[in-house]
Each structure stands twice: as C-alpha cells, then as structure tokens.
Structure 1
Amino acid sequence: RNFQEALQKAAQSLEINRNGLGADGRELKDQQEILESLEHPSWNRLFHIYDAFKLGISLSTIHKLSKIDKWFLIQIEELLQVERDIEQYTLDTIPKDLFRTAKEKGYADRQLGHLLSCLESEVYKKRKELGINRVYKTVDTCAAEFEARTPYYYSTFDHENELVVSNKKKIVVLGSGPNRIGQGIEFDYSCVHGVLAAKECGYETIMINCNPETVSTDFDVADKLYFEPVFWEHIYEIIEQEKPLGVIVQLGGQTALKLAEKLSKYGIPILGTSFEALDLAEDRGSFSKLLKENNIPYPEFGVVQDAEEALVLSKKLNFPLLVRPSYVLGGQGMKIVINEKELEEHIVDIMKKIPNNKVLLDHYLDGAIEAEADAICDGEDVYIIGIMQHIEPAGIHSGDSYAVLPPYNLGDFIIRQIEAYTKKIALSLKTVGLINIQFAIK
C-alpha cells in the first residue's frame, strides 16, 4: 500500500536472484563503479542507487548524477535506515513495531533473515507468533467510481483482509513471471490453457503471476487471480489461505519448476509429474545415467562443480564441448567451447551466477541434425503429440531455431527410434503431464 513495498515486490518479481531491493548480500561495493552507473540509465541502476546510499554517498550527489526526483531517492534512503535499525537486534530481541514496519515496507522474510543472521523459516515462525500477518486487498478495477467485485488480489500488511475463501475444490496454477530471453509468452499460453481445463473439470482455479502484460493476469481468465511475485513467501501464504487440492508447476517454465522442491518439502501436493522426477530430469548427470540404464545412446559426458574439475574432464572428452548448467531453461548458461581457456572462463562465469551448480560437459556432436518430440503421459501410457525437425543444426538453441512439423527428411527408421526413446524416457521418469525431448541425430 506504499511505494517502498511496491518497489520491493517489483524487485522480487524480476527473476534475477534478488530477494528485494537489497539486504541479500549482493550489493556492489566499488564506489567508482557505482558513481559511473548512476550517470547512465540501465536495468540495474536502481540497485546501484541502493548500493550508493549503503556506501554513504549523499542524496544530493545521487540526485545530481542520476537526475532522479529526490522524492524517490528519499524512499530508498529510508529503507536503508530501517535496515540499520534492524541490524541492532537479533530475531529474539527485535521489537514488534520495527518488525511490522519492515514488512509494511516490503521486506521479505528472506531479507530479514539476512539482516538478523537467521533462517527465512525462523523469521516466518517468529512473525506468526507476533501476529504480523499478510492480508489481501481487492484490486480496484473501477477507479473508485463504484464498488469493485473482481476476485483480483494483491497482498500487503494491513488490518482488514478483503479475501473471500470458498469451500470449493481448488487448483493453483503457478505463472511464469516476467517475459525474458529463454522464457517467453509460450509458458503463459500454457498456464491459461491449464486454468481453462481445470475450470472445465469443475475446479475453482487460482492463478498466481506478477506480469500485467500477459493473458493469465487478465481478471476474467481464472476464478481468482493473485497478482503477486512468483516468490516462495508469497506462494506459500496464498496456499495457506486457500488450501488447494494441489499446485500445477509444469506450465510456468523454470519460474514455477524451481519452487517444486519447497512445495514438496512442505507437503503441498504437486499435480502432475512429481518433484523427484522433475529433479531427476533437471540434474544433467542423473538424467544421463537414466539414459544409460535404458540403453539410449548419448555423447560421452561428465559432471563438474568447478573450473579445475572441468579442465581435467576435458582431456577425457575432447573438444569441442557443450557446457550445460543444471536447473535452467531456455539455454541459460549453455555454450559450446573449443579450448581450455574458453572452458575455464565459462565455468567461472556460471559458478558466479549460479553457485554450487552441477555443470554437465559432453562432447559436442558437430554437424548433427536436431529433432524434438512432444508427448503427454499419465504414468502408464505415452502419446506422441508430434515430432519436429530443426532446420538449423544441433547446437543452435531450440528457442532460436526454426522447426518443421512433420519432419522433412528423417526417415521412418529414425522416427520410430525417436518414438521408442520418448516412451522409454517418459515412463522411466514417471511423467504425469507434458514432456519435451530433444534429440541429436548423427
């Protein structure tokens, strides 16, 4: 209900591994770099304004360099003062009024955990003990001309809760968050059709997403829409309020998939493919072992967690190598490298952006044809939806490739092999729902 809370929620919605505007240990500390950034508009200048205040750079200097209205700068400066106040306490000693003030200004439990040197779950537990609860307000779609009756909600920390919870059987669909390279509007299309299908089956459908420029956030698509960051704290509190039969994660891209582990840990039913199967599919090394067990051919591979391991492995696999992080979608962090220098630089870059990631190295099949199969499975039967052949060779990411349906020159034998392998993989993963598999043919 205030600018600071809105700003923090916007930062949490960005999908750039930030917990909010700050208080996550990722601040830039190079003063000269910050001063240069303030002069030039960029996607991360907002964060550098926060960093500048944290380093003690004055409001007048920041205003002079950035030309941003002082009112907005004061709002950010006030957040830093709240953080300094919080850091004087521990979780056991923080005053309730200060705790509530922080939540009213948009601080996530994870941010408060960072400031108080404790776990996010401990902050959540303490907050509940103090009775500091999130409430939900109806979005005023009528500009206050008359009473709004649309079930379109956002959360805040206030006293009156406008949310009306029904006794109907409900299903939650997690949205795909912001559109960006590697994760576009196709996932929103999937979410919308998932919502429509659940409605046809008689369930009350609940959509959670933060992007206003999508169809899923149109107020009349789902029975109930929460316009919230696809961020654990927000998702969990909505589920606690609504108590759905389950949550669909496989339609919202990597944004939704990465929440599957916590949903499973907290005993929240995942509708469709289980977290264990999703995790197996996303862990490059484990998935390669599954292929081996099913006698499905694949390039020689290895899994590494640092540059030193990668250099040792490269001598066994031979260049060129395809480098692929685990738990990413849309080709994030994937690259073909042709020598040790490129390999070392890329592994260091991946580990900086995605710490503790398991990176798969496999020998790149130069000149291979790429094809992909889409299928749907109920855990027992597999139905092939279609097989597409890429015009570009393997190694060009599928999101950047043209594909032809049906395949134009694969031949019946290759198509039958793709169908057989697709069925084996889908059943081995105990897939319940959609599956897409990409094949390199050489």
Structure 2
Amino acid sequence: MGGQTALNLAVSLADSGALDRLGVRLIGASLPAIRAAEDRQLFKQAMNRIGLKTPPSGIGTTLEECLVIAEDIGEFPLIVGPAFTLGGTGGGIAYNRSEFEDICRAGLAASHTRQVLIEKSLLGWKEYELDVMRDMADNVVMICSIENIDPMGVHTGDSITVAPTETLTDKEYQRLRDYSVAIIREIGVECGGSNVQFAVNPADGEEVIEMNPRVSRSSATASKATGFPIAKMAAKLSVGYTLDQIPNDITKKTPASFEPSIDHVVTKRAKDNVWGYGRAQ
C-alpha cells in the first residue's frame, strides 16, 4: 500500500502500540512528520514558525466548534477539509450555513482523527504544486512544478494540470521553490518525496494550502513528465542511499541529485470510470 492509506495505517499501528511491540521502525516519513503534515493544527503551527502564510482558518472536532470557527472567519464560502483523508473525501465548499453543517458532519465522520480544517475560501486563485525530494544528508531537489488549469475550488485530482508551470514569473517560481524546501525540512520528512500545494493571486501573494508527506496522483504526473522515478528513488533513499549515490534513470551518467529539466509540456486530465456507472445503485 502507498499514499494516504499507508500513512493512516502507519499512524493507527503506532497508536495501538503494535510497532513498538513488534520492533518495527518507520522509514521515510517518520510518525512525527506524518502527524505534522496531516494534523491541520500542527501544520498551521509549522507554517507560522517558518513565516509562511496560510488562509485564515480554525480546527473543529465537533459541529459546535465548526460553527464557532465559521462565525470567526465571518463570511461564506468556506472550505472544509478533513484531516487524514484521501482525495478530498468528506470535504467540500460550503456557500451557506446549511451546506456548511452537512459538509462538516461528513468531514468529521470521514476524518481519521475526527478533525476538520475550516478555512477562508481562496476560490479563483491560481493553484500550483511542487514535488520535492529529500535524502538523509539533507539534500533537497525539485522534481517538477505543476500548474492546475482549473483555479482553486476544483480538487487537484479532478483538475486538468500542466507540467511545468506556465504562468508563474521566475521570481514567483523561485519563491515557491524556496518555500517547498523550507516546508519539507520543517515538517521533518527525513527522506523521500513530498507534494506541496500553493495558492497564488498576483494581487495578494502566495499562501500554502497543504503538504503531503507521500507520493500523490500529481507525483505520478511529475514522474511521467520528467522521467524521474519518484517512488523508486524514495524507496532507495529510505534504506540509506543519498541522491548523489543513485544514478539518473534517463541519462545513466548524472546522479539523481541533478534536478530534472524538461523541454516539453505534459498535460494530465481526469478520467471518469464510466464502466462503473452501470453498476451504481
């Protein structure tokens, strides 16, 4: 198993004491790193420590707490995002109180920790993702930058995306690159790949949306676009290799510590599983 399922399973096994009892050590993303990235409150605190902006938000563990947070933010629409879920499960955009209550109930039920993040809407902002990789010697490389054609409000998994980014200025890209390196270090992913998501509005600057301490659907796009096998490299890094010790799969001459550079554009679009519709009840 990989992705969000593996993270949730690792946390559950650690909380139950099974890992300690059986002498199992997590490699790659450690338990504190998983918690720091997936726990909405811990992530917000981590971003504050390194001076990065996140949307005004609050953490709710009950419907009553969620309603208080909504009043504090002061306006709809609001984004509801459960912690420890995959592909936006249980979350959504609420345009009024009735929708907000329904989404919060679904989010609390779906969350591994019964925790939802309620944040100010950034609908219409541009959305970008950067896939980064770190080794145990603290070398960090940028694998690929990805731009969502659809603005904020359409989940990344459902959006048409393009690699590399097309509408960032060089200064904007360099800032997001620096932020991504700072984030993977602050969260504490010792080695492996991570996916960092940003919202950008030229009039307001950049804000951090979230960071996944794992490979994602976007990571698959990044691997195909650059030829850099993120999952394979992450596995090697987790057993002790450093990026400069692993040969690049494409050139066979340079090490993986050389950041990929592409001279083409790769586009990903979501695909509906139409074959499943006939069996839906």
Asked if TM exceeds 0.5, the reply is yes
Deviation at 1:298, TM superposition (A): 1.1
Asked if structure 1 preserves the Cα contact closer than 8 Å seen for 2:80 and 2:107, the reply is: no
Letter in 2 for 1:337: A
Match of 2:182 in 1: 424
Distance 2:42 2:173 in 1: 26
Match of 1:394 in 2: 152
Asked if structure 2 preserves the Cα contact closer than 8 Å seen for 1:371 and 1:387, the reply is: yes
Q: Give the 5 Å matches for 1:24-423.
A: 175=1, 252-264=2-14, 265=17, 266-267=19-20, 268-317=24-73, 318-354=75-111, 357-379=114-136, 380-423=138-181
Letter in 2 for 1:289: Q
Deviation at 1:263, TM superposition (A): 4.4
Distance 1:298 1:350 in 2: 20
Deviation at 1:350, TM superposition (A): 2.6
Match of 2:192 in 1: 433
Distance 2:59 2:97 in 1: 16
Question: What is the CA deviation profile of residues 124-147 of structure 1, one whole-angstrom value per residue up to 9, with x for unaligned ones?
Answer: xxxxxxxxxxxxxxxxxxxxxxxx
Unaligned runs of 5+ in 2: 202-281
Asked if structure 2 preserves the Cα contact closer than 8 Å seen for 1:281 and 1:429, the reply is: yes
Letter in 2 for 1:292: N
- Aligned to 1:371, the other structure's residue is in SS state strand
- Aligned to 1:258, the other structure's residue is in SS state helix
From the superposition, tell whether residues 410 and 303 of structure 1 become closer, same or farther in structure 2 (CA, over 3 Å): same
Distance 2:199 2:98 in 1: 26
**TM-score, normalisation: structure 2:** 0.65
Distance 1:349 1:271 in 2: 32
- Aligned to 1:348, the other structure's residue is in SS state helix
Asked if structure 2 preserves the Cα contact closer than 8 Å seen for 1:291 and 1:298, the reply is: yes
Letter in 1 for 2:122: L
Distance 1:290 1:372 in 2: 19
Question: What is the CA deviation profile of residues 251-270 of structure 1, one whole-angstrom value per residue up to 9, with x for unaligned ones?
Answer: x0122111212444423111
Asked if structure 1 preserves the Cα contact closer than 8 Å seen for 2:83 and 2:113, the reply is: no
**TM-score, normalisation: structure 1:** 0.42
Distance 1:259 1:333 in 2: 18
Higher RCO (C-alpha 8 Å, min separation 6): 2
Letter in 2 for 1:436: N
Asked if structure 2 preserves the Cα contact closer than 8 Å seen for 1:263 and 1:270, the reply is: no
Distance 2:11 2:109 in 1: 22
Unaligned runs of 5+ in 1: 1-174, 176-251
Asked if structure 2 preserves the Cα contact closer than 8 Å seen for 1:367 and 1:393, the reply is: yes
Distance 1:347 1:334 in 2: 8
Identity %: 33
From the superposition, tell whether residues 323 and 376 of structure 1 become closer, same or farther in structure 2 (CA, over 3 Å): same
Asked if structure 2 preserves the Cα contact closer than 8 Å seen for 1:382 and 1:427, the reply is: no
| Larger Rg, first or second structure (1 or 2) | 1
- State the superposition RMSD in angstroms: 1.5
